[in-house]
Structure 1
Amino acid sequence: MVSRDFTRPNFRITVKVGDLFSEEADLVIGFTDVFDTSTDGGDIISPRSVQAQLLSRVYSGDEEGLDDALEDALRNHRVSFIESASAKPRGKRKRYPIGTVAVLSRQTAKYYCVAYSRMSNSLSAQSSVDNLWNCLSGTWGSVAENGHLRPLAIPVLGSDLARVDNLDHESLIKMVILSFVARSREATVSRKLTIVVHPDNFETVDLAEVRAFLYSL
């Protein structure tokens, strides 16, 4: 684990290996632009994805309940396009702009569900550096508006099935750090950001290099 405390404004960034859903914090959850939730068959949402964990661990497998919560949270967001059933026979068809954030409240935590990748009609999620940067900016804005400076935890977005331009975990972590620090110097987002690396990916991240990057900012 590596951490740095920043001043003016005061906030802390921590990078650690662990379980995102064990953090005592509000969570950022990456989604595609159609906000799919179905893990049936594993070809829409992978059962090992963070979205699937949100469904199983927070909504107790209640897919309809999660869909209703997302629909309600997205009610005032612009829909960019609606696919036809013939063009996209499986999965959701209502597309939202990249960077759209659906804020869910469940018990004492908030979940910032952000569209950072595009789900193709053949059910392949695709993203890019530009998409990730824009979605991070949108997420920090939503957290600043809704989070009341509560602790925030985020996984390494773009490191799994919807890979971002083949960037490695370390580069993605640095992008999250840089984006958060830049936004925080405009206005405070959260007093504590924790970037959680999945244990399976521990060996792909040089924490000493991440620490050096943190202290270079």
Structure 2
Amino acid sequence: MARRARQIFVRNAIAAFGGISAVLQFVGQLFPQSFPDPAPVTAASVAACVLWGIGRARPVTRVRQEFRRPDMTVVVEEGDLFEQAAHLVIGFTDTFDTVPESGLVISEASVQGQLLARRYDGDLPRLDAELDAALGAVTPVAREDRSRKPLGKVDRYPIGTVAVLGTRPRLTFAAAYSRIGNDYVAASSVEDLWFSLNRLWDTVSRYARPEAVAMPLVGSGLSRLDYLDQDSLLRLILMSFIARSREGAVCRELRVVVRPADLERVNMPEVAAFLRTLASGVDRA
């Protein structure tokens, strides 16, 4: 049993036992003559508490919440991002680097590395050509000297830039939410991520409003947002999407796809409660 599951089991089993004990004591005081032998009652209570704790500790792998005004659905689920029947959001750095370069610039295991392998079949020239076309109307804010950044691309684009790649029904929204240093270390901040998400929703609204969009838990990889845990990052993404949706529909469904390795670090029951609270607040507004 995973650590979080053990904690949930123990917490709920103890709480259930305390509740049952209080009820039994109350009933025993009211009906002292007819109260049954405590031994089997205690055994049954312990068994019930264990079963309750096990049931509550079962891992939740999918949370779904419907919203009104506008009508939309938010899903948080464990899975493989690239198996989603939806448009995808992929995080990039401000240089929109694509070359793995033995993992120094772009890790082949990263979501961006998987984009090249699985949506472009490793065809780097095609990916770069689509990026160049999508960024053609965007003016770089700086250009690095090749001697200072020997690997990768040198044009830097504004944080929040979104390049729309591919064709329907499988668009890819390449969103720059982090800066890559000349040491090839990517860095971002809460402010950069929040700003980038707002720009992302604007673009998604223009291209995919009636459709579903899937995205990973951006910021949990190599973008150096280490001071936010997965739960905090997820809530930031959800709040950004719902806040922007109150201004106008962004898309029919947003799916945040959590890697199986990260699921233990996301409290899915609390995510479900958080989404219910947001939905009730939106519906009352």
Structure-2-length-normalised TM-score: 0.75
- Partner residue, 2:137: 76
Residue pairs, 1:112-131, within 5 angstroms: 112-131=173-192
Alignment of 1:185-204 (within 5 A): 185-204=246-265
Distance 2:69 2:199 in 1: 22
1:78-127 deviations in Å (ceiling 9; x for gaps): 21000011121111100000000000024631100000000001100000
Q: After superposition, where does 1:70-149 map in structure 2 within 5 Å?
A: 70-106=131-167, 108-149=169-210
Q: Aligned residue for 1:156?
A: 217
Shift of 1:165: 4.9
Secondary structure in structure 2 of the residue aligned to 1:160? coil
How far apart are 1:148 and its partner, in Å?
Answer: 3.6
Q: Highest CA radius of gyration, 1 or 2?
A: 2
Query: Who is 2:110 aligned against?
Result: 49
The one-letter amino acid paired with 1:46 is S
Amino acid corresponding to residue 41 of structure 1 in structure 2: S
Structure-1-length-normalised TM-score? 0.98
The structure that is strand-richer by fraction is 1
Residue 59 of structure 1 pairs with residue 120 of structure 2: yes
| Structure 2: distance between partners of 1:102 and 1:18 | 25
Which runs of at least 4 in structure 1 moved beyond 3 Å after TM superposition? none
Structure 2 unaligned spans of 5+: 1-61, 279-285
Q: Offset at 1:64?
A: 1.1
Greater RCO, CA 8 A, separation 6+:
1
What is the CA RMSD across the aligned residues, in angstroms?
1.0
Residue deviations 1:109-165 (CA, integer Å, cap 9, x gap): 110000000000110000000010011000000000111421010100000111325
2-structure distance, mates of 1:15, 1:161: 21
Say which structure is richer in helix.
Answer: 2
Distance in 1 (alpha carbons) for counterparts of 2:129 and 2:137: 14
Q: Which residue is equivalent to 2:232?
A: 171
| 1:209 Cα offset (Å) | 1.0
Q: Any unmatched runs of 5+ in structure 1?
A: none
Pick aligned residue for 2:272 from 208, 211, 217: 211
Q: What is the identity, as a one-letter code, of the residue corresponding to 2:128?
A: D
* 2:176 partner amino acid: A
Question: Percent of aligned pairs with the same residue?
Answer: 46
